[in-house]
Amino acid sequence: DIVMTQSPDSLAVSLGERATINCKSSQSVLYSSNSKNYLAWYQQKPGQPPKLLIYWASTRESGVPDRFIGSGSGTDFSLTISSLQAEDVAVYYCQQYYGTPWTFGQGTKVEIK
């Protein structure tokens, strides 16, 4: 199985500041034939299901604010919230869909400092 490891486990950022979450996969999730990274990011607020934010490592889902930016390739990825808003407090998960079984990271909790 491909293991997804996120860092840090939690972070506290001031309103309006940048928050960056990292995700590392135990093997590459870049499919050479189409040059796509099979990596997605989700946001989960308390008591709610996860919500899709980003797929193909950097494609924003419809309706997701442009302050959410996905980047990276191969085995190293990042989710950046360019200007943290109060409604962004949540746990964020990365997920690979390159190899079966599809696997998630352990999550990163983002809070307001």
d(CA 25, CA 99): 11
Q: Which is nearer to another protein, 9 or 76 (CB)?
A: 9
Asked whether position 93 contacts another protein by CB under 8 A, the answer is yes
Minimum CB distance to another protein, residue 74 (Å): 18
Asked whether position 46 contacts another protein by CB under 8 A, the answer is no
Among 59, 80, 83, 85, binds another protein (CB under 8 A): 59
d(CA 112, CA 31): 36
CB 56 within 8 A of CB 64: no
